[in-house]
Structure 1
Amino acid sequence: MNREKESIPIFFTIDDGYAPFLGVALSSMLKNASRDYHYEVFVIYQELSRQNREKLASCKTGQSEIHFVRMKEKLEMIQDHISNRLRADYFTLTIYFRLFIPEMFPQFDKGIYLDSDIVVPGDISRLYQTQLGDHLLGAAVDPAVSEIPELERYVRLCVGVDPGKYFNSGVLLMNLRELRKANLAGRFLRMLSRYHFDTIAPDQDYLNALCSGRVTYLSKEWDTMPSVSNKKKPETAIDNGEINYETGVPKLIHYNLFAKPWYYDGIQYEEYFWHYAPDSGFLDEIQNIKASYTDKDRQSDSEHMALIIARGDNSSKNPVTFRIVFTEGKEARL
């Protein structure tokens, strides 16, 4: 007797500007995913053209479905199910999307959230199989913090967590059932309206502050990022256009911050992105994006990175931080 395959829900959130890169993420992920599971992919968007939806839908395989959900409509559906109404400006709340996944999708007890600036050479079902117990999240430590002293100080003094345990929120294995029980959405909305923290990575800082102590730390192979300095060039596992999976290939590569191979040459792990890009349906568009990226754009990236570092350095002087409200007992962890 054939048994119905277990379904794995996977969530992305994008707009038209990121559709080409989601195409690469989807094509790589579904190509390498185990055939023993069924994959329900949810693409939640604010604005996404019909053409881009159709191209992304073409990434579907026999083991997957791709659903498109307009974010505003879905958020409106859950207003009466959150203890605090969604009073904050909608366009502000979109950057916090992943915090609402547990309430938006009550039919699931567990799921994966992924940023779209990734490729997945590994089998995503292996990530889903990670046991969380009563922990709220599975996530990998963010290496950028240890590479930049100003960010390390920000995490310790403002977010109020050990920099060695500060995780990246671009790859999350979510215990949706426990997150609903802990009322993540309600707690977040209350703190957002009450404190207006000056954050560097808004959703990531809230998740780290609220979920501290209830996180299962994933191996960095599930959230491998180029070094911020981009000086450590790894040996490639791609030979003659094929990936050798026996040479320690990362299971998921995350082109975090400004390390985007579609803007820059020489980015660590760029060969994996370009290996999967031809199957995305967006190759010509991606190549045009790279060709049109100017020195002015690159200078802007450098200025924004410097601004992030400067804000991290100055934020410790703020009178209201996550660390202060938790230390003084005004708030409690989930």
Structure 2
Amino acid sequence: MNLLFAIDNHVVDQLLTTLYSIVMNTPNQTLNVYVIQKNKLKKTDKIESFCKKMNIRYHPLVLKNALLGDVPVTNRYPETIYYRLLAQDYLPKTIDRILYLDVDILAINDLSPLYRLDLGHFLYAAASHSALTNNVTEPLNKLRLGNYEAESYYNSGVLLFNLTAIRKQVKKVDIVNYISRNKLSLFLPDQDVLNGLYGHQIKKIPDELYNFDARRSPLYYALSNGKWDLDWVIQHTVVLHFCGRDKPWKKDYHNRYAGLYKHYAYRAKRI
């Protein structure tokens, strides 16, 4: 199983927590973990030691030069978030698929069914949280991003890559030009670029299974008429995503799943 992350020095511990959750809940898999980084991470020794103990194959992808020139960045959205858009240019040509994950994620059940998903002609597979917002923002996003063929607006925190198809169709020049034309309209920069250029070539996967927004547990409960309760999530949800500004590694985080995250973080730290 090939996994992809793109991080800077601020979230190394979070990466290890995510990896620990995957190893614990996705059995019988050899994990090849590719980590895109602008410069060699300061805690590389820590990552390598952790991966060795967990039988993970760690592959750092150090990209020293700026990839996309002048792109919108903030403290919340550093330059590294754009790197996943060009991952196919830096990954080994011998692999045909890879699963990208944000590091504010826990994998609490087996990732294998998602990883083996038949992508057909689609470039990517991803989940949309549109049902949680009653589809109110869908027309606005299509207008804002100029992609009227897209079925939905997709969250880029969990993204399965069809690398064979992507290498043929996704080009750096198209991404650079799109950013240049739409810079003032990009609210969630890399995610907007993904949806604006390739939203119509993304296979939709159920977010309640593969990108459960931890902030919105009551909405999932309501949408499912009470089916998707805490017990259901623990048994069926694969990817629990701590979206938004509040993060579970912070002491003042009190979301329903705070204890679950802190447990995995503690166990990873012990490794």
Fold conserved (TM > 0.5)? yes
Tell me the amino acid that sits aligned with residue 117 of structure 1: D
Q: Is the 8 A contact 1:16 1:47 kept in 2?
A: no
Structure 1: runs of 5 or more not aligned: 1-7, 76-85, 238-244, 284-334
Please say if 1:255 is aligned against 2:242: yes
Say which structure is richer in strand. 2
Q: Tell me the amino acid that sits aligned with residue 24 of structure 1.
A: T
The structure with the larger Rg is 1
1:226 counterpart = 2:214: yes
Range that drifts further, 173-182 or 39-48: 39-48
Q: Does residue 66 of the first structure (1) align with residue 58 of the second (2)?
A: yes
| Residue in structure 2 matched with residue 177 of structure 1 by the alignment | 164
Displacement of 1:165 in angstroms is: 1.4
Offset, 1:99: 0.4
Distance 1:274 1:231 in 2: 23
Q: 2:2 aligns with which of 9, 18, 21?
A: 9
1:15-30 alignment runs, 5 A limit: 15-30=8-23
In 1, Cα distance between equivalents of 2:80 and 2:234: 39
Deviations, residues 59-97 of structure 1 (Å, cap 9, x unaligned): 325652112222326x7xxxxxxxxxx561489653311
| SS of residue paired to 2:50 | coil
CA contact (8 A) 2:99 2:160 kept: yes
Q: Select which of 50, 66, 69 maps to 1:88.
A: 69
Matched to 1:65, the amino acid is: R
**TM-score, normalised with respect to structure 1:** 0.66
1:200 aligns to what SS in structure 2? coil
2:143 aligned with 1:157: yes
1:152 Cα shift?
4.5
User: CA 1:171/1:10 → structure 2, altered by over 3 Å: closer, same or farther?
Assistant: same
Confirm or deny that 1:44 pairs with 2:36. yes
- Distance in 2 (CA, whole Å) between partners of 1:157 and 1:98 is 24
Q: Which one of 243, 256, 260 corresponds to residue 268 of structure 1?
A: 256
- Tell me the distance in 2 between the aligned counterparts of 1:269 and 1:43: 26
Partner residue of 1:100? Answer: 86
Q: Does 1:54 align with 2:45?
A: yes
Deviations 1:135-161 (A, max 9, x none): 010000134871695x45541421245
Amino acid at match of 1:113: Y
Give me the CA root mean square deviation: 3.1
Deviations 1:284-304 (Å, cap 9, x if unpaired)? xxxxxxxxxxxxxxxxxxxxx
What number of residue pairs does the alignment pair up?
255
Name the TM-score, length of structure 2 as normaliser: 0.80
Match of 1:121 among 103, 108, 112: 108
What's the counterpart of residue 298 of structure 1?
none
Alpha-carbon deviations, 1:173-202, whole Å to 9, x = none?
011111111134331122223443421111
C-alpha separation between the residues in 2 aligned to 1:38 and 1:255? Answer: 26
